[in-house]
Amino acid sequence: MDQILSQLANRHSDTPPVPYLARLVAQVRPEDAGDFVQATSNLRALTYLLSRHASYRAGLRQALIDLLGSTRQVQLYTDTGTLSNETFSQALRRRIGERLLPPARSGTHLADQFGVIFCQREDYRWVAALSQEVWQELWQALAWDEERQMVANPTRLQLLEAVQVLTARITAIGLEPELVKTYPDIERFESPFLHLSAEAQRYVESARAAMVDETCPDEDDRQMLVLLEQCEDVIARLRKAAANRGVSVSLTYHVTRLRQHIQRLRTLLALLDPERSPARDATLFHLLAELVRAENRKYSLRDVFASNTELLARQVTEHAGRHGEHYIAENRSQWLAMGKAAMGAGVIVGFMALFKLLIATLHLPLIWEALAFGLNYSLGFMLVHVLHFTIATKQPAMTAARIAAAIHEAGGKADMAELAELVVKVMRTQFVAILGNVLLAIPVAWAIAEAWLWLAGTPVIDQGKAAHLLHDLHPLSSLALFHAAIAGVYLFLSGLIAGYYDNKAIYRQIPQRLAAVPWLNRLLGEARTRRFAHYVEHNLGGLAGNFYFGMFLGVTGTIGFLLGLPLDIRHITFSSAYLSYAAVTYDYALPLATVLWSVAGVALIGMTNLLVSFSLALWVALRSRKLRGSDALPLLPAVLKRFLRGPKAFFIPPRERAEEPEEAAPPA
């Protein structure tokens, strides 16, 4: 470090300063980006050398002055760390291309030279971890008061130009047609986005005049800050309107860009404040860390997804959460109704299992067989939805969003007793739903198998197929639990798909458009068309989720066969039905061990289905609300404590309290 500072002190004015600055940062950089103690120690060592040697600090100051004076700075302040004027898909493709073939760096743009100086992918970690006091000590050690050159003016002029650029972008983004569609009031003449541009022009002209003539009053940014607050209020109202009107990836992209540009404009206005203050220095150091992070992660695909799907993921899980409320029985009457709905689904699944076995006997070409399996599942699940029955394993993906919403409403610090009570309601509703599915799927499948045997004289399946089905239920000698986990992933995905299509129906105004289709009105009549549009509005997500879930289940085995991978699915309700078909084929002459292992396999398959789908759904719901998985961890001891206090409530709800009789009126 001492050697590099000495070289900077003796550097010729024609020599580019960037290589020296990059080597100096390399000396400060810790060996491990997470070693913040070493980073602090290294930066303080640099501060000590600068404070002891006037030639060192003069050389470093001059290198920074030459860098700022010879490069174009506006791009660094306006583009680095903010989304560009492109769609989400274009941004994704551009980052993929730049990762494969990085763009050439320009020697005349500070943004490109900045990337040369902070060139390691994890520099942002130690830069952001350094405390403000450490940066302040370094800034003071540079002793800028010793510098007689007018270094501030060129940088200040470019900061003012950056303010104009950001303001123009904010106005343009704020009036995007997609934002106006979601929140029509945004384009009114009183819109702060329209006034912001004019106010920025006045501010910049005042600032430039103050730089030329010291008698001119300092520029006042208070009106701009007020307008920025109003812009942020509009964004908040827009996000609230999106809850009723739906969202898209494109809308989320515009909102994210708008928030980024407003925040960057606030930062530049703070840096342009003529009064030197600790707050302004803190803003400078924060901007440095932000720019380093943006430079290090400018090719990150994960960041693009995380920043641009936040609002959409929130909306999708919100819709799932609203469906989840229908899957939570609050009292015994709702609990019994859920059990009856699950029994209805169990009856349908008994027949679906029969059709699945019959399709397999046809030995269709692989693609047609996969399509037939998928349609069997899809149409069956859609019938279950249309008849208002319940598939038990569909519940976790919905109820997880409801639990995440409860945690978020309390700011991540929810009342654990209330949340534990919500979990109790979820678990007993899940219990009765599984019970209803299985208790009807088994006897219905048995009745079908016996009727088939009586009418046809042969069982539905032969003993070879029955042995295969029983083997697939064994939790140890087969991949039953792995296949059950795959089904759990599909259950989770179907919940997201349902939320996505519910959002799509609202955002694209599909019900209103259906109600206005002329040929549909002529075919069905105006009243029936309105009822059909109303049904689509409230059921498109459920139908789509069930359709895709069925197709996922149907094609997985075929895909596994084609790829030579052990891919398949196991679902608790179908597994219990298959157990009945196999038992009839063997004329009930099954060893007790086989029966016990099969029953255990069905139970473990169900637990795996539920655990995987619930865990994934809860994780996504928490992430969409910017919560961590640790925010849900306090639930575990609270639920355990609740179980020890009253285990019965986890399976059967308490009796509803009868209304107390009114007191008899006293005799007259």
pLDDT in tens, 111-146: 889 888 888 888 888 988 888 898 888 888 887 766
Say whether both 297 and 326 belong to one domain.
no
Q: What is the CATH number of the domain that holds 344?
A: 1.20.1080.10
- Last-in-domain residue among 308, 336, 370: 308
176 residue type, one letter? E
Note down the domain range covering 524: 314-650
- 142 and 35 inside one domain: yes
Regarding whether 237 and 354 lie in a shared domain, the answer is no
Contacts of 33 by beta carbon, 8 Å cutoff, 6+ apart: 120, 122, 123, 125, 126
Looking at the structure, tell me whether residues 79 and 164 fall in a common domain. yes
665 belongs to a structural domain = no
Q: Are residues 200 and 114 in the same domain?
A: yes
**How many structural domains are present in the chain?**
2
Strand-pair partners of 72: 109
Q: Cβ-count burial of 449 within 10 angstroms (0-12 exposed, 13-18 middle, 19+ buried)? A: buried
How many CB atoms neighbour CB 609 within 10 A?
A: 29
Q: CA–CA separation, 301 vs 314, rounded Å?
A: 20
pLDDT for 175 equals: 85
Could you tell me if 70 and 112 lie in one domain? yes
* Residue 437 included in any domain: yes
Query: Is there a domain that residue 659 lies in?
Result: no
Q: Is 571 contained in some domain?
A: yes
Contact 327, 422 (CB under 8 A): no
Let me know if residue 663 belongs to a domain: no
- Last residue of one domain, picked from the residues 308, 323, 346: 308
Domain assignment present for residue 657? The answer is no
Amino acid identity for residue 637 in this structure: P
User: CA–CA separation, 492 vs 485, rounded Å?
Assistant: 11
CA distance 256 to 84: 11
Give residue 594's pLDDT: 92
Bridge partners (DSSP) listed for residue 109 = 72
CB atoms within 10 A of CB 353: 29
Please, are residues 340 and 439 in contact by the beta-carbon 8 Å criterion?
no
Cα–Cα distance measured from residue 28 to residue 4, given in angstroms and rounded to the nearest whole number: 12
* Confidence at residue 648, expressed as pLDDT on a 0 to 100 scale: 84
**CA neighbours within 13 Å on the CB side: how many for 315?**
27
pTM equals 0.74
Q: What is the pLDDT of residue 665?
A: 41
- State the DSSP string of 607-625: HHHHHHHHHHHHHHHHHHT
Together in a domain, 477 and 579: yes
Final residue before a domain boundary, out of 260, 290, 308: 308
CA angle 26, 71, 87 (to 5 degrees): 90
Per DSSP, the residues of 106-130 read: PTTBHHHHHHHHS-STTHHHHHHHS
C-alpha–C-alpha distance, residues 118 and 288, integer Å: 11
Query: Is the same domain home to 213 and 278?
Result: yes
Question: Are 533 and 577 within one domain?
Answer: yes
Length of the chain counted residue by residue: 668
160 Cβ neighbours under 8 A, 6+ residues apart = 204, 207, 208, 272
Q: Are residues 333 and 293 in the same domain?
A: no
Flag whether 372 is in a domain: yes
Residue 27 lies in a domain: yes
Tokens linked to 518: 């002329």
Pick out the chain residues at pLDDT < 50: 148, 150, 321, 324-325, 412, 658-668
Whether 274 and 327 map to the same domain: the answer is: no
- Examine the domain organization and report whether 370 and 288 are in the same domain: no
